[in-house]
Structure 1
Amino acid sequence: MAGIRVSTVVEAPAERVWELVGDYHALGDWHPHLPPSRLGNGLTGNAIGSVRVFELPDGVVLHETLLAYDEEARSYTYSFPDGTFHFDDYRATLRVTPVTELGASFVEWSVTFDIEPEHRKESSDRVHGVFTSGLAALRKHFAG
């Protein structure tokens, strides 16, 4: 099992950051490199089992399924089908935690997965880039 963990501090209270990132289906609304998603099944909102579908610019259609959602802990976990970008058992979590002394937020995006060694670098770099650019967009959004 391998993993990637990317984190940042956002200069806004956790409640405000979660208002933006806590809607599972709104990732494409704030992430600069993802288009808005469409519903992939009849489940809407943050219902466990809800599927969001991204049609990526390179022609890839990505289906992500919500596995866990915790409003109080400000986190959600999702997966996508085995084989997507060569990953198996892909489980990603986005979490927002208050940094109370600063009135800021610690935002962490992490994932665990299995992958064949020959695909590890390319696929891991792709995910790392998505996570890093998304967190940079959050910092920028709340900076001004």
Structure 2
Amino acid sequence: MASIRKEIVIESSAEDVWEVIGDFAAGPSRMAPGFVLDTQVEADCRTVTFADGTVVRERRVGVDHDTRRIVYAVVDGTVRPDHDNASMQVVADGERRCRLAWIRDVLPDELAAPMTEAMAHGLEVIKRTLDATHDPQRGSRV
């Protein structure tokens, strides 16, 4: 099984970033507008539509507000790996900075390269979006 780990620094508080990342229902659309076109929720699953045409159905595995960690698994979609489980965790790095770690385990291994590329692109969009959520002049979310 391929395990992919990506991490970025976001210039915003861990609380502000977690408020978006931890939102299972709308988080993907909020954190990566343009990269994600739509997110629809039904019970413990969400259907995420990406700009490249990929559509996936993800099941919520867990949301831990204390550790700021969300875990989900892809259960259906246009790309159907044998296994696809992911977590995102927000870790404070000062008052107005945090790190976002995204870990994804996938089978078959051949999917690792395209998923690594997609995750890297997604993280660029997430960083651009969430860096902008904090206005240092005002000390609060925009």
With the length of structure 2 as denominator, give the TM-score of the two structures.
0.77
Aligned residue pairs: how many?
134
**2:31 equivalent to 1:52:** no
Unaligned 5+ runs, structure 2: 137-142
Q: Distance in 2 between matches of 1:111 and 1:142?
A: 28
Q: Distance in 2 between matches of 1:120 and 1:12?
A: 29
Q: Partner of 1:64 in structure 2? A: 58
- Which of 38, 41, 60 is the aligned partner of 2:40? 38
Contact 1:34 1:54 in 2 (8 A): yes
With the length of structure 1 as denominator, give the TM-score of the two structures.
0.76
Q: Distance in 2 between matches of 1:34 and 1:57?
A: 6
C-alpha root-mean-square deviation of aligned residues, in Å? 2.5
Structure number having the greater strand percentage: 2
Aligned counterparts, 1:85-100, within 5 A = 85=79, 87-100=81-94
Structure 1 residue 81 displacement after superposition:
2.2
SS at match of 1:85: coil
Which residue type is aligned with residue 107 of structure 2?
D
Unaligned 5+ runs, structure 1: 44-49
Contact 1:78 1:92 in 2 (8 A): yes
Q: Partner of 2:123 in structure 1? A: 131
